[in-house]
Amino acid sequence: MTHQDHLDRFSLSGKTALVTGASRGLGWCIARAMAEAGATVLLNGRDPARLAELVSELAGEGLSSVAACFDVAVRDAADGWIAAQGRNVDILVNNAGLRHRKPLADTPPDAFSVMLDVNLTAAYGMARGLAPFMAAKGAGAIINVTSIAGPVARANDAAYTAAKGGLAALTRALAVELGRSGVRCNGIAPGYFATEANAPWVGDPGVTALLHSRVPLQRWGDPAEIAGAAVFLASPAASYVNGYVLTVDGGMTASF
Ligand SMILES: NC(=O)c1ccc[n+]([C@@H]2O[C@H](COP(=O)([O-])OP(=O)(O)OC[C@H]3O[C@@H](n4cnc5c(N)ncnc54)[C@H](OP(=O)(O)O)[C@@H]3O)[C@@H](O)[C@H]2O)c1
């Protein structure tokens, strides 16, 4: 293969990618990167005005995108969108997430269920709805955005940790079940990224000290640094990568 042939293996040209939770943060960085890699991206979120702004921003750069406005945790809304648009999707990125750090005493079972609904059950529903369309084409890629909270845990975060640990397990289960149809399923486990959701802690002296001592790269991840992992896992360059959760955490969980 030539140098260009190798580069072409990372292209998403001709593919359509649905990215849930693409209105900001890591989802927006993943969606933008996939558009830059040649995909048409379907931007999911719950705010139609925000999605319209992003579609027009990408169009201004000659990149192709369409808004996909629905709440992933409302099953009827998600299933309605899948019935209308699902056949177009080659790549599904389950990125939409919700986190409320609270101790057990302040997390009754209904609050625990809400965290599972958004972080785990919604991803299951999206994959279950879209997998048959991918299988009919004999190809597809599902990427679940999990977390380092899952394989490891911090105090006062049980619901999120359980949901993300479940999402990593779901990633392996889907890889095993869908592999025979040509559909791959992998995950990305981010560490500490300086997204809007983490804005209150960026610059906080306690968090800065924690990252300095616990993360070998000694800093926050820039949200754009998630992009390479997502484009790789979605692309033909990862054609034999299936059932793997790629940790992108500056080395945090490799150290103790
Ligand atoms: N940032 C980190 O350091 C970090 C670390 C580990 C894992 N993660 C995971 O990475 C993912 C993205 O994190 P982030 O920091 O970028 O989060 P964020 O800034 O809070 O963005 C969350 C995104 O999800 C969307 N969303 C939330 N609930 C939704 C729903 N029910 N239906 C549709 N869209 C929904 C939001 O859109 P609207 O509000 O506009 O609908 C937004 O686009 C999450 O799964 C998170 O758990 C992040």
Return averaged pLDDT per consecutive 10 residues of the chain, 256 residues in all: 95 98 98 98 98 98 98 98 98 97 96 98 98 98 98 96 98 98 99 95 94 97 98 98 98 95
Grouping H, G, I as helix, E, B as strand and the rest as coil, residue 98 is: coil
160 catalytic? Reply is yes
CA 79 vs CA 86, 96, 122, 184, 219: distances in Å: 9, 16, 11, 21, 40
Domain boundaries, position 187: 3-247
Report the relative pairing of strands 65-69 and 16-19 from DSSP bridges.
Answer: unpaired
Asked if residue 45 has its Cβ within 6 Å of ligand 1, the reply is: yes
What is the domain count for the chain?
1
- Asked if residue 72 is part of any domain, the answer here is yes
Grouping H, G, I as helix, E, B as strand and the rest as coil, residue 99 is: coil
Residue 243, Cβ density class (10 Å: 0-12 exposed, 13-18 middle, ≥19 buried)? middle
What CATH number does residue 170 fall under?
3.40.50.720
Q: What is the pLDDT of residue 256?
A: 86
- Asked if residue 37 is part of any domain, the answer here is yes
In this structure, the residue with its CA closest to atom 42 of ligand 1 is 21
- Asked if residue 173 is part of any domain, the answer here is yes
Q: How far is the CA of 2 from the centre of ligand 1 (A)?
A: 39
DSSP string, 61-83: TT--EEEEE--TT-HHHHHHHHH
Q: How far is the CA of 8 from the centre of ligand 1 (A)?
A: 30
pTM score over 0.95: yes
Q: What is the pLDDT of residue 105?
A: 97
- Asked if residue 256 is part of any domain, the answer here is no
CA atoms 180, 182, 183, 188: torsion sign: positive
H helices of the chain, in order, are: 3-8, 25-36, 48-60, 75-85, 109-116, 122-137, 158-178, 205-214, 227-234
Q: Which of 23, 55, 115, 117 to mutate to test the pocket of ligand 1 (most atoms within 8 A of CB)?
A: 23
